Structure 1
């Protein structure tokens, strides 16, 4: 039996996960009281048509029943049932924004401030997060990107390194993305904006990308940057970081930064990293490359 316990912060995307895991063949049960997990798995094993892949969503909605999770996991070990834990997380600022957008109340602060409920939930869940086999930070992930990450881990069986590399191209004219951990300026590369046949295009077009990457300084920069990121990732993972946001900036965020970000993403994928790419300013018009 492939048993997965899905938990994490309220608002981090567990309801979306249910749909995605059902799509890849998991039998999903949402909001199951933790104390019932051992009995539930025994029933499944004794069934005439046992289910191979099961995902159980357990979270703070169960109130004090959630505290039964660790005893339940201990029982699973005693009866010889292996399991994995997937923990979904997001930054406090993103969680607050999501609750406000959906006008939902936080389960731990139905009559109080959302931030207070998030703080208390994070305290309660820390022990579970510490034991998690997979931690996905959904702060910067779109629903499609979350589905791709789940597919990568649970369908393709890629090695989980505990960290998602999020590469975002941007234009300095529009400001540096606030959530970047590392920012790199590629305005030293010759600008396709000043090449008439390339100006109306973007870094997604092969001829623009070929132009940007044709220069020795571009290739050398990418080689050194890729080596540095590869070197840093294990240390970030060791410190418990689950998402590394790398900003690649040029003047307008349309040509050079896009081409460099895409190439860096390819290089990191070749290294086995889990990579998400976003081009924040690519459609913001004639901004100088």
Structure 2
């Protein structure tokens, strides 16, 4: 059985990840003790039509149901070779904001205090984090983008997540960008009347820009640069890389380049996400 064990901090997106796997055809279980999952897998072998893929959330809630959860998870992984442990987390500020918006107390916090509960939860889950196969930081992800991470990961062995982002210089350059490529050298469709109101995802606009030879040369050079540097990033333990393409307003040229690079890179052995930062302004 292909098994995904989803764990991590409360409010970081574990339920979203579980639902994404469910949509991919996985049998989904939430808050299941590891020893029961192991028994379930054993019984499943004798079914006429056994379940082939399962995703399960195991977090601090399971601790009260399992005296030695780490031993149980280790045993589970040894018994089922095709098991991947995914640890989902995000920064404290985002988690606190999510709890405040929902007006929920943290179940581990004294008097429901979120900060206190979060620290206790981190300490409790550290051994699980240390043995996880994949770490996913959801700090900058919306729900749809986290689903993209899950859906695009598939059976890829490389755990590097590459974010391709388009943006407009007039709205600022984010400090989160690892690479920034200025694509204002590309002829601007804004000055072509029939293309002015379109965006870079539009086929008509893409056909117009495809005619310029410099774009293919630029695309190949960027692709070569990224692939030459990824092994070094991975060696240094950096598994999330953000590659940004900027034009004036973030509607035409930068969007077009993100779409081009996504198509070029989507079959490579890493997790690929695309986002158009200024989409709400189009």
TM-score range, shorter chain: 0.7 to 0.9
1:235 is aligned to 232
Aligned to 1:281: 278
Aligned pair count reads 281
CA contact (8 A) 2:195 2:205 kept: yes
The 3 A distance-change label for structure 1 pair 68 and 231 is farther
For residues 96 and 234 of structure 2, the distance between their equivalents in structure 1, rounded to whole angstroms, comes to 26
Q: Would you say 1:218 and 2:219 are equivalent positions?
A: no
Instruction: Answer whether contact 2:190 2:196 (CA < 8 A) is retained.
Output: yes
| SS of residue matched to 1:168 | strand
* Residue in structure 2 matched with residue 12 of structure 1 by the alignment: 12
CA distance in 1, matches of 2:24, 2:281: 37
CA distance in structure 1 between the aligned counterparts of 2:114 and 2:177, rounded to whole angstroms: 25
Quote how far apart the aligned CAs of 1:171 are. Answer: 0.8
Aligned to 1:267: 264
User: Is 2:201 the counterpart of 1:204?
Assistant: yes
CA distance in 2 between counterparts of 1:63 and 1:84 reads 20
Q: CA RMSD in A?
A: 2.9
CA contact (8 A) 1:230 1:268 kept: no
1:241-274, CA deviations, whole angstroms, 9 ceiling, x for partnerless residues?
Answer: 3322222111111111111111121222143332
Give the structure 1 partner of residue 26 of structure 2. Answer: 26
SS at match of 2:167: strand
Q: Is the 8 A contact 2:109 2:120 kept in 1?
A: no
Higher mean Cα deviation, 56-65 or 255-264? Answer: 56-65
| 1:181 alignment partner in structure 2 | 178
Show the counterpart of 1:95.
Answer: 95
Given that residues 157 and 269 in structure 2 are in contact (C-alpha distance below 8 angstroms), is that contact kept between their aligned partners in structure 1?
A: no
TM normalised by structure 2 equals: 0.84
1:136-147 counterparts in 2 under 5 A?
Answer: 136-147=136-147
Change (3 A) 1:242 1:123: farther
Quick one: distance in 1 between partners of 2:96 and 2:138? Answer: 13
CA distance in 2, matches of 1:235, 1:143: 30
2:188 pairs with 188, 191, 195, which one?
191
The aligned counterpart of 2:80 is: 81
Asked if the contact 1:165/1:244 (under 8 Å) is kept, the reply is: yes
Q: Confirm or deny: 8 A CA contact 2:87 2:135 kept in the other structure.
A: yes
Distance in structure 2 (CA, Å) of the matches to 1:120 and 1:183: 38
